[in-house]
Amino acid sequence: MNISSVVIRTIPERVETVIENLENFLWCDVHFKDESGKIIVTIEADGANDATEKVKQLQALKNVFSADPVYFYED
């Protein structure tokens, strides 16, 4: 199992829209948002390769400028 944290950046006007899209992913939990357009999420994956693929899915979301992994934990 892999648990990773990711910092997502969007424009402030799109934070709520991006969060709505993130809620469609059952493996993703939103923990923080701010008025500057930053969103902190954690993702659960089966391993490092799966985590990488999920980060790529986050990066491909509409209105997401970046989705940068910050922390990986592998068990």
* 68: CATH: 3.30.70.920
Per the structure, the count of domains in the chain is: 1
Q: Among positive and negative, which fits the CA dihedral 18, 61, 70, 52?
A: positive
Range of the domain at 56: 2-74
Q: State the pTM of this model.
A: 0.93
Q: Do residues 64 and 37 lie in contact, with contact meaning Cβ atoms separated by under 8 Å? A: no
pLDDT in tens, the chain (75 residues): 999 999 999 999 999 999 999 999 999 999 999 999 999 999 999 999 999 999 999 999 999 999 999 999 998
